[in-house]
């Protein structure tokens, strides 16, 4: 049973437009949510996170929204740039150990110039 799901394996967006990556989770004990970005043959890079006490967190072009009742979160990238093309992983953890996260399978974002 996959507890963190990214239902879209891929997403293609035009440069300058908004990219919206979605993530659903099933475990109501999850309290902390993270997004990572990964280029091929490299390690993931921690992007942005959100605690369950918030419904939005913003960092530059990246905004994460959390809907606890729907067990859904999304990552918005505005404006999208070609360098944003990568695999994005959603992850979730309990309140104490963010390193022990459960990851989704990733969404490959392609930003076209």
Partner 1 sequence: NAGVMQNPRHLVRRRGQEARLRCSPMKGHSHVYWYRQLPEEGLKFMVYLQKENIIDESGMPKERFSAEFPKEGPSILRIQQVVRGDSAAYFCASSPEFFSPGNTIYFGEGSWLTVV
Residues that bind partner 1 (CB under 8 A): 4, 32, 41-46, 49, 51, 89, 91, 95-106
Q: How far is the CB of 70 from partner 1 (least distance, A)?
A: 21
Residue among 104, 100, 39 at smallest CA distance from 75: 104
Query: How many CB atoms neighbour CB 91 within 10 A?
Result: 23
Q: How far is the CB of 49 from partner 1 (least distance, A)?
A: 7
DSSP-derived 3-state class of residue 9 = coil
Structure tokens at 59: 């960092």
Cα atoms in the 13 Å half-sphere on the side-chain side of 85 = 11
Looking at the Cβ atoms of 26 and 45, the one nearer to partner 1 is: 45
Looking at the Cβ atoms of 53 and 78, the one nearer to partner 1 is: 53
Looking at the Cβ atoms of 8 and 15, the one nearer to partner 1 is: 8
């Amino acid at each position: 049973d996959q507890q963190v799901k990214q239902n879209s394996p891929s997403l293609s967006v035009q440069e300058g437009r908004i990219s919206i990556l979605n993530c659903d989770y099933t475990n109501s004990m999850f309290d902390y949510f993270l997004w990572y970005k990964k280029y091929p043959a490299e390690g993931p890079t921690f992007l942005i996170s959100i605690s369950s006490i918030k419904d939005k967190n913003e960092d530059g072009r990246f905004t994460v929204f959390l809907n606890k009742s729907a067990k859904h979160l999304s990552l918005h990238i505005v404006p999208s740039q070609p360098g944003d093309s990568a695999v994005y992983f959603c992850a979730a953890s309990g309140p104490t150990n963010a390193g022990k996260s459960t990851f989704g399978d990733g969404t490959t974002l392609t930003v076209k110039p």
